[in-house]
Amino acid sequence: MPPLRIPLRLTLIIFSLAAGISGIMAQECTYLVFSDEFNYQGEPNSEHWNYETGGGGWGNNELQTYTNSRDNSYVSNGTLKIHARKSSTGAWTSARMVTSGKASWKYGKFEIRAKLPHGVGTWPAIWMMPQNSVYGSWPKSGEIDIMEHVGYDPGIIHGSVHTEAFNHKDGTQKSGSVEVPDAQLQFHVYSIEWTPDEIKWFVDGEEYFSFSNLHISYKEWPFDQPFFLILNIAIGGDWGGAQGIDPDLEEAIMEIDYVRVYKTSLPDFNINGPSLVQNGEEVTYFVPPIEGISYEWSFPEGVDIISGGANNKITVQWGNRPGSVQCKMISGCEEKTGTPLSVDLKVIPDAAPFVLSALKDDGSSAWEVPEQSIENNFSLQSDGNVVRVNFSISDPAANPRITLPIGFTADFEEFRNVRVALKILDGDAPGVMRFDFIDSDGRVNTADLFKISDPVRNNHFHIYGHRFIGSSSSWNMHEITEVRLYVNYGITGRNGEGTFVLGDIQMAPDGFFVEPVVPDSEKFVLNLNTGIDGWQVSEPLSEQIALSGGGSLHITYSGIEASENNYIKINFPNPVDLHAFGQINVEFAPGGDFPGRMKIGLIDENGILNENDLFVVSDFSFVDQNENILTYGFGNVDDGGEFLPCRISEIRIWLDSDEGTSGNVDFSISDITFSEHDFGSGIFNELHYRSIRIWPNPVKEYIFFEQNNEWFDRWQIYNLSGKIVSGGTLNNFQEKIRLPGLSSGLYFLKLSNNQGNVHIGKFFVK
């Protein structure tokens, strides 16, 4: 039967050899891992070839200048032409084409079919250099010359290696030669076979030289690293011009029919394509093409394949999460998985505010504690919608910190304004804090830092903000991957232990965040002289409650059922910073039929109400009957979340929301004023009082306290308006009382005796 013919370009070639009389067949695979057949026209394939350009002799006193011009390199009629030309001034140009940066290989079979140029002074070469000179500059990292030819010695082909131990500079070069009389007239195949132990040189399949690995050191054998291919024609030089240059020579052309690289096993390979993508972006990934094998791709969940999938190139639409791209080559002999490509998700905010959450989806802290000095410790705990941070700092110079990995790459170029909610709790308040936004190269703009010195400490959240200048030469705001929070760091840091709470970080473009109104006097007055302007009635009561003006806010209604929707409110055009104005004073007009119960609350710009801190009025007994003022101190009860007293946007008054009313209500509010804390004239005018510790706080069924060996016989409870709401006597050793029925709010416990000793402590009722 006729012999089996295997096409020349078939990339998976299976050779079967008889293994003795047993008839057992051994199988070997060979793969074409790179080829350029030059079956196109014009510019050489830019996916395969780069150019090394310039003059200066190239270390060998050569005369030509290498260019990337089509005058010196082009593809036509099925072959690549490297064309050296002499100009009218006698200057030579040529081309030096390389696969560096495109492809490199360690071991394999390399075949180049070429026809060499004529002319004394020409020096064509097909050779290889290391992709990375890991052992040092030439010749330490090696050189492999597959084919060299000099024009003054036509018909002689040379193959050689250069190493630190063996090179022509030292006269120790290892090389071989073979006669090929028609090398300048006909195409011949110049090849090497390179293994870990040996390199062999061939012309048209006939071996003429070999170089063995002595297994001593890199000085003899640096050929355990990837090398790339080079095709060029030099003019003149130490070797090519050793017998001069033909003065009549005007040009020289080397033609290459094909370049092919084979390996006997599937190659190690990397996945090429973008490592930073956006949600919904269409992207393409590819690996080296090897015909005759299949490719198996895998992507993170949510990535949709658009085209490809079984070949070396695939186009996908990326999803909404980062992950890795993986590819496996599969042949009839083996499988090989490439190095996975880690792909990060790039997010460009399209709506403000863009939130970096303090918590993960499972409710745990998104902030982390990296390894650092053992003298500095942090513990993180999620608490509702925020993260509670306990810290102990003994080594500020070690820059104690916690980190917030974003989980993707964020482009904040247009979202330069940052706000963070921060609340200082127990212990030592940090003296200095700093939020660093870290880019993908681990850099921060040290000239533009978000720094907080001596943050406000009053058990409530405060907003801290900063506007970044933007990207700089040493920092890229287009690619932010992490936030670091330094606490008591550097020379201004201080030792201490304490607790603070972090809310979400918000990013926004210029003009989005509205700065709060900060009162510029000791009081903030909600002016009611304009009557009902700005006040609104909740929808369910819009037909039952009447508001009228005339120097006060006049409120009349009757017969409403209990509901949390029974309220009137006023909204501020801009948020108001009331964190330093914690006392509210409400002045009522003399006389009137008051509601059975009324509540007043503050609501921040995010619509958050501290439900544990309401001014509740269940009877209208005034401290001063001439002024008709009731007073309450906001801000003494933990907000339990992210309430922002520094950004109040609404005041809401609930009317009989708990009990409703069957009668008529007719009263007026003359004035509402916010001021600094002043807890009335009744309790804090006591002289020589001491504070007393009360627990639990907020109290439950009993109020526990310590008498501190100063035994008391009387107790009294005051509300914030200074009115006594309950009282009784104490036995000598009694240190608890049952909590009387009290509404939610802040109260004061006064203990006293006949000797004039007074102890006072505050407690909360939820």
Q: Measured between alpha carbons, how far is 635 from 148 in angstroms, rounded to an integer? A: 88
- Does the annotation count 43 as an active-site position? no
SS3 524: strand
Q: What is the pLDDT of residue 462?
A: 87
What pLDDT does 591 receive? 66
d(CA 417, CA 403): 20
What letter would DSSP give residue 118? P
Q: Is there a catalytic annotation at residue 148? A: yes
636 three-state secondary structure: coil
Q: What pLDDT shows up at residue 514? A: 86
Distances (CA, A) of 649 to 456, 463, 575, 605, 607: 20, 14, 5, 5, 8
Pair 252, 184: CB distance under 8 Å? no
3-class SS at 491? helix
pLDDT for residue 381: 93
Q: Please give the angle made by the CA atoms of 436, 441 and 443, to the nearest 5 degrees.
A: 30
pLDDT at residue 654, rounded to an integer: 86
Specify burial of residue 332 (Cβ count, 10 A radius: 0-12, 13-18, 19+): exposed
| Cβ contact 764:699 at 8 Å | yes
Q: Single out the catalytic residue among 143, 193, 220, 479.
A: 143
Collect all residues with Cβ–Cβ distance below 8 Å to 361 and sequence separation of at least 6.
none
Q: Using a CB cutoff of 8 Å and minimum separation of 24, what contacts does 382-387 make?
A: 382/358, 383/501, 384/640, 384/641, 384/642, 385/358, 385/359, 385/503, 385/504, 385/641, 385/642, 386/358, 386/359, 386/421, 386/423, 386/501, 386/502, 386/503, 386/641, 386/642, 387/358, 387/359, 387/501, 387/502
pTM listed for this prediction = 0.60
pLDDT for position 549? 55
What pLDDT score was predicted for residue 543?
A: 60
pLDDT at 27: 41
Mean pLDDT by 10 residues, the chain (766 residues): 31 29 44 94 96 95 97 97 96 97 94 97 98 95 98 96 93 95 97 97 98 96 97 96 96 98 89 92 92 91 90 93 93 92 92 94 94 92 90 93 94 94 84 94 91 83 90 87 95 89 94 85 67 62 61 76 82 83 76 79 86 76 61 66 82 82 78 67 44 76 76 80 76 80 79 75 77
Residue 370: predicted pLDDT: 93
| Per-residue buried b or exposed e for 77-113, using 16+ beta carbons within 10 Å of the residue's own CB | eebbbbbbbbeeeeebbbbbbbbbeebbbbbbbbbbb
pLDDT of 715 reads: 84
Contacts 24+ apart (CB under 8 A), 691-696: 691/759, 691/760, 691/761, 692/749, 692/751, 692/759, 692/760, 692/761, 693/761, 694/749, 694/761, 694/762, 694/763
What pLDDT shows up at residue 7?
33
- 498: which 2 tokens? 């304490």
For residue 259, what are its two tokens?
């370049």
pLDDT value at residue 682? 43
Active-site entry in 148, 220, 479, 482: 148
What the block records as the tokens of 596 is 């059975």
